[in-house]
Structure 1
Amino acid sequence: MTTSSSDSTSAAASQPGRFRVGVQKFGSFLSGMIMPNIPALIAWGIVTAVVVNVSEFTEAGWEPTNALAGVIFPMIHYLLPILIAMQGGRLIYETRGAVVGAVAAVGVIVGSDHIIDQFNAALPAGEDQLGYVHMFIGAMLMGPLSAWLMKKLDAVWEGKIKPGFEMLVNMFSAGILGFLLLAVGFFVMAPPINWLMAALGTGVEWLIDNSLLPLTSVLIEPAKVFFLNNAINHGVLTPLGTQQADAQGSSILFLLEANPGPGLGLLLAFSVFGVGAAKATAPGAALIHFVGGIHEVYFPYVLMKPALLLAMVAGGMTGVTTNMLLGVGLQAPAAPGSIIAVYVQSLGGGVGNVVGVTFGWVLSAGVTFAVAAVILLSSRKRDMELGDQFSAAIAKTEAAKGKSSSALASLSAGVPSAAADRIRTIYFACDAGMGSSAMGASVLRNKLSAAGISDVYVTNKAISSLPGDADLVITQQTLTERARPKEPQAIHVSVNNFMNAPEYDEVVELVQQSGDDQAVAAGSEAPASSAEHASGTRTAVEPRVLTQDRIRIRAGSATQEEALREAQEILVSAGAVTGDYLQAMRDREATASTYMGSGLAIPHGTNEAKSSIKSSALSVVRYDGGVDWAGDQVRFVVGIAGVGDEHLQLLARIAELFSDESKVAQLEAAASEAELHALLSGVNDN
């Protein structure tokens, strides 16, 4: 949970914030391409370690491992870049984007090889030849770019293809675009990417040769605390480290960001010299950080006392210096940054490498501990006089991350909230303020009611309509930064989905901590219709909003785009929306996913699309084969078009249905549209 400063943010001051958020998003996107493929990198590292170690202990090697060595180059050179390109394409345009992205990646890989082969062929006899460049950066560029172009191209003839020719057009358009992008990758993209990789590699070698590599800690350690490290780690260090590991067997670059030593030293210092909740929670946080590999648990401790960045930088530089002097490194990225992952990836270098890596994290932890101890002791008296600032530091950390975190939430447990006595009004906010937020508000009202809380006002609003009087605002994680300026003094909670987010239980606990004399009776300061929402009473919903002809069951699967089209077609047939509503639904998904949890998605237009809505209506389609909804599995797609707020009661009832596992099971088992309609028809009751 995050609180915003009470001071107004000036336009000039907001520029760094927007830049930080932009870098965070870019880094998160890079992480989204790399992290799902880390298991493949680990597998490659294990194969390499097995082959190398067996060869060291036998003169001629062992025949099975000699044969197994043949997979090392194809995995690192072809498989991993193609997997990365596919994942990047999938993030932009699902399976269709993944396929085109993979084809384009092959072009840049082979194009790079062609350049290297030509260069080596021109070398005088006896000179060292250049090694191939592993196109990780090329894949990270071509995958998303190709998927984006495919998405734009599909939009050009959306709705213009004659029935019966859709598959033909879709297949050939993707194939032709894939061929064109393969050629672009081969002839256009490969040369500059080769140059970039060479320049970055030369820069790293220069830093190492001049003993300047430890200076990278001055950038990396503060970047970690503000969640800006993903852009550095996955955009530069992982590609360069993989190239270096393939050529030399290991890379020190994998240890620049993943070394758990500095974080461990900081948390141990708080365990001994800290005060209040920070001291009480530090031992547990140290275990989570060091063994679990969740580095973000130590970030609040640094933000509570920014001078501790000096300790983190000193420890980081010590670790890098030690690793550089001992010549140690990892075979593949250590992800997550657990000491277990670090040791697994250090085994391929033998006992000496493992010992060197151990010295690296131990010494970095020791230096961080010593410097942090001095800082904590020098301000201990003042810290005790000021009181415990740990909760505010956790809030700052989540604000920097842009979303809530279960790891940070575990630090908050048992820490009194400064805002707990002022929660009076809770707003669920989304882009349009009608679909996902309405359902989330209904789910939270039910949870509050079940906890015996009936005196807190809960409703839903569009982000643009937030009035500035909220005590707590709940948004999807990608929308939090937009909502925060609208409600600068509120607690901001980010959730991954509105249906069954675990953060709801935290909100209930926070409300329970509120003083009874601070709460406001539900609706006592709200319009009558909103009061009805808060108290649980409902006005009638017109039966025409959900009728049997708007309910369908599909035996197979569908893509997210196909599901959006079908929802729009039903709503158009119902006379509820115009043809522009499909693009509005796409725009909404581009802003934040409408996946709600419990196998449910509720696509709807953005707030700017209200002119496309002629009347309120719902469509319900059950896909028994499932829909990949931006990485989440969906079986029920409920399309929404709402005029005014007459659909909100209906959404509240849908939320009740899909938050009950037994009712969801009944909906999944319904054998016909009529049976499904019978189960859903209750949403039209008073």
Structure 2
Amino acid sequence: MEQKSSLKVKVQKLGTALSNMIMPNIGAFIAWGVLTALFIETGWLPNKEFATAVGPMLTYLLPVLIGYTGGYAVYNQRGAVVGAIATFGAIAGSSVPMFIGAMAMGPLGAWCIKKFDQKFQEKIRPGFEMLVNNFSAGLIGFALLLIAFKIVGPVVSTLTNAIGDGVQTIVDLKLLPLANILIEPAKILFLNNALNHGIFTPLGAEQVAETGKSILFLLEANPGPGLGVLLAFAFFGKGSAKSSSWGAMIIHFFGGIHEIYFPYVMMKPALFLAVIAGGVTGTFTNQLLGSGLGGPASPGSIIAILSMVPKGGSHLAVLAGVFAAAAVSFLVSAVVLKADKSEGESLEEAQAATQAAKAQSKGQSISAPITEEISTDTVEKIIFACDAGMGSSAMGASILRDKVKKAGLAIPVTNQAISNLQDTPKTLIVTQEELAARAAQKTPSAAHVAVDNFLATPKYDEIVSLLTNKAPQSAITGDSAEPIATEIDLNDVDAVVFAHGQSKGSATMGQETLKAIFKNKQIGIPVSTAAYQELTDFNMKNVLIVSTIANQSAVQAAAPHAQVLIVDSLVTTPEYDKLVARMNK
């Protein structure tokens, strides 16, 4: 068992390392994809002058960026510079785009200069620091450049050609759909970024250089399998999983945050068959119709996917691959959910189980939140940290940023990869529970809060309460905040309003969730959203205003005569189902 766990840790670390070199540079890959799609001879707007930038960008810019990023992750700026120098040696010594060589030489160059500094930094005489630092980086980079030119470049070139030939053989034999048997479960075990950006993006870029498009960009990014699962929950699910599935669909399909459907699959392990069947169907359809993209679709949003279809490619073919995958995934999921006779399982429990599975895949255990004193005196900035610094952490940062603004606090809220964290005081680091130990080790001077789910957690309201001195310090370390109990009868309600500040993202999500519940239960009460300053128009007893704990006082001050439902999360809460269950009792 230990050996198996150790293997999981190694695989996860390797995948994270690869994706962390690619993901910060996805913008460059997309720029290159757009350049290629527009200006090559077969592009949308052929232009020989602009097209001359396509080759150099693929050959030099993208690999150097990867090597620089890989070096920076190991040893900051000095590591980045030496890593870029070493990477260029591999580029110059090869006849193919040197993505694999960049992933090897970037971190290796940084590691070499890091070891040199550790051994000799304290022995440098005062006044000679700049001289030694500059020459050591230059000479070590020079040596690695020559090694990479003579050895790494030719070896990786041969290996790259072999891998490319292997992938092409699989494509020619029509066996590519079988890859989804491994891809779909690996995604839900949180290897999605490693697969898409660590493997398929570099290989796909090389195929684009040769043929103008690549089906590899559609293997992991296809939102169809997840869409099918969420649709099945919307029609055949139970409890909060059913009511929250509509909002999750919007985030998944249009926002491209695939992680949001993982807990739904983890609730019913048989649903792994659904996403596998959907993935195989989607890839088979794409291969049959000749679908492909001109660049990576990141995030995996249908908007990003359609925008990367090159000239000569078919948007309808790509959509067919997505919806074929969704249809098959939906049918299999429907069979699984309809055959399930158990009581509705809590989505919150499933999310916790998902986090536990994610932690197990990394050889970690779920840790308790780290206790820190949190106030405006101790926190000047908030950083959301995850493996890649994108996706769900960006969503979490957006949610908390909105709450911080509504509370009148001028505290910046950003997100980044955990490997890029800097140990700075007066910083609050928000991580998922399985990453808390790594974050604490990397940033011991910062305050830390661990959450089970970036997209729905009461701890955001608790953080804001602590920063505004409206709650005791124990709130952050105790049990999750419970919604204030209310006994609201929908028979006395003529309208439901979700209150929001400047940003109404979560309010809109909640609105769609409750509208779906009402529609399913044939309840004709209108559901809308309104800013806090507009709540005076709804100051009536027959209006129900939905708000979070942190904003309760603002809502009650603006509409004291209205009924108020306080929830821990506007997007996913069991309170909506309880509210409907009380009707007509």
Band of TM-score, shorter chain: 0.5 to 0.7
Normalising by structure 1, we get a TM-score of 0.55
Instruction: Give the direction of change, closer, same or farther, for the CA distance of 1:43–1:427 in structure 2 (3 Å limit).
Output: closer
Q: Which residue of 2 aligns with 1:358?
A: 319
For residues 427 and 302 of structure 1, what CA distance do their matches in structure 2 show? 25
Q: Which residue of 2 aligns with 1:16?
A: 4
SS at match of 2:215: coil
For residues 340 and 253 of structure 1, what CA distance do their matches in structure 2 show? 18
SS at match of 1:227: helix
* 1:101–1:144 CA contact under 8 A, matched in 2: yes
Instruction: Give the direction of change, closer, same or farther, for the CA distance of 1:228–1:16 in structure 2 (3 Å limit).
Output: farther
* 1:402–1:481 CA contact under 8 A, matched in 2: no
Matched, 1:78 2:66: no
For residues 186 and 199 of structure 2, what CA distance do their matches in structure 1 show? 14
Q: Which residue of 2 aligns with 1:201?
A: 164
For residues 436 and 114 of structure 2, what CA distance do their matches in structure 1 show? 21
Q: Which residue of 2 aligns with 1:645?
A: none
Alignment of 1:334-345 (within 5 A): 334-345=297-308
Q: Which residue of 2 aligns with 1:395?
A: 352
* 1:227–1:400 CA contact under 8 A, matched in 2: no
Percent identity, aligned pairs only?
48
For residues 18 and 128 of structure 2, what CA distance do their matches in structure 1 show? 36
Instruction: Give the direction of change, closer, same or farther, for the CA distance of 1:177–1:480 in structure 2 (3 Å limit).
Output: closer
Q: Which residue of 2 aligns with 1:367?
A: 328
User: What's the C-alpha RMSD, in Å, of the aligned pairs?
Assistant: 3.0
Q: CA deviation at 1:73?
A: 0.4
For residues 514 and 17 of structure 1, what CA distance do their matches in structure 2 show? 38
Q: Which residue of 1 aligns with 2:391?
A: none
* 2:368–2:450 CA contact under 8 A, matched in 1: no
Deviation track 1:504-552 (CA, whole Å, cap 9, x = no partner) reads 5496595442999xxxxxxxxxxxxxxxxxxxxxxxxxxxxxxxxxxxx
Normalising by structure 2, we get a TM-score of 0.64
Q: Which residue of 2 aligns with 1:286?
A: 249
Deviation track 1:615-638 (CA, whole Å, cap 9, x = no partner) reads xxxxxxxxxxxxxxxxxxxxxxxx
Instruction: Give the direction of change, closer, same or farther, for the CA distance of 1:158–1:440 in structure 2 (3 Å limit).
Output: farther
Q: Which residue of 2 aligns with 1:552?
A: none
For residues 155 and 293 of structure 2, what CA distance do their matches in structure 1 show? 28
Deviation track 1:359-385 (CA, whole Å, cap 9, x = no partner) reads 100111111111111111111xx222x
For residues 474 and 250 of structure 1, what CA distance do their matches in structure 2 show? 36
Q: CA deviation at 1:400?
A: 3.4
Q: CA deviation at 1:219?
A: 0.4
Which amino acid in 1 is paired with 2:81?
V
Q: CA deviation at 1:481?
A: 11
* 2:223–2:322 CA contact under 8 A, matched in 1: yes
For residues 22 and 440 of structure 1, what CA distance do their matches in structure 2 show? 35
Instruction: Give the direction of change, closer, same or farther, for the CA distance of 1:510–1:41 in structure 2 (3 Å limit).
Output: same
- Structure 2 spans left out of the alignment, 5+ residues: 361-366, 380-430, 442-448, 465-474, 486-585
Matched, 1:27 2:8: no
Q: Which residue of 2 aligns with 1:302?
A: 265
Deviation track 1:39-79 (CA, whole Å, cap 9, x = no partner) reads 1111111111111488667xxx5xxx221011000111100
2:91 counterpart (109, 114, 123) = 109
Q: Which residue of 1 aligns with 2:311?
A: 349
Alignment of 1:54-69 (within 5 A): 65-69=47-51
For residues 302 and 41 of structure 2, what CA distance do their matches in structure 1 show? 22
Instruction: Give the direction of change, closer, same or farther, for the CA distance of 1:112–1:394 in structure 2 (3 Å limit).
Output: same
Which amino acid in 1 is paired with 2:118?
A
Deviation track 1:1-23 (CA, whole Å, cap 9, x = no partner) reads xxxxxxxxxxx2x4433432332
Which amino acid in 2 is paired with 1:202?
D
* 1:28–1:231 CA contact under 8 A, matched in 2: yes
SS at match of 1:336: coil
* 1:476–1:495 CA contact under 8 A, matched in 2: no
Instruction: Give the direction of change, closer, same or farther, for the CA distance of 1:482–1:106 in structure 2 (3 Å limit).
Output: closer
Matched, 1:162 2:125: yes
Which amino acid in 2 is paired with 1:104?
A
Q: CA deviation at 1:396?
A: 1.9
Aligned residues: 405
For residues 295 and 228 of structure 1, what CA distance do their matches in structure 2 show? 12
Q: Which residue of 2 aligns with 1:250?
A: 213
Alignment of 1:84-103 (within 5 A): 84-103=66-85
Matched, 1:46 2:8: no
SS at match of 1:306: coil
Alignment of 1:249-648 (within 5 A): 249-346=212-309, 348-350=310-312, 352-379=313-340, 382-384=341-343, 387-402=344-359, 429=370, 438-439=372-373, 477-479=435-437, 493=451, 502=460, 504-505=462-463, 508=476, 510-513=479-482
SS at match of 1:258: coil
Which amino acid in 1 is paired with 2:56?
P
* 1:477–1:494 CA contact under 8 A, matched in 2: no
SS at match of 1:240: helix
Which amino acid in 1 is paired with 2:123?
K
Alignment of 1:115-134 (within 5 A): 133-134=96-97
For residues 493 and 309 of structure 1, what CA distance do their matches in structure 2 show? 26
- Structure 1 spans left out of the alignment, 5+ residues: 1-11, 114-132, 404-425, 430-436, 445-472, 484-490, 517-686
SS at match of 2:121: coil
Bigger CA radius of gyration: 1
SS at match of 2:207: helix
Matched, 1:213 2:171: no
Which amino acid in 1 is paired with 2:339?
S
Q: CA deviation at 1:427?
A: 6.1
For residues 226 and 183 of structure 2, what CA distance do their matches in structure 1 show? 13
Which amino acid in 2 is paired with 1:248?
T
* 1:85–1:144 CA contact under 8 A, matched in 2: yes
Q: CA deviation at 1:440?
A: 5.8
Q: Which residue of 2 aligns with 1:567?
A: none
1:226 counterpart (189, 193, 210) = 189
Q: CA deviation at 1:205?
A: 1.3
* 1:237–1:253 CA contact under 8 A, matched in 2: yes
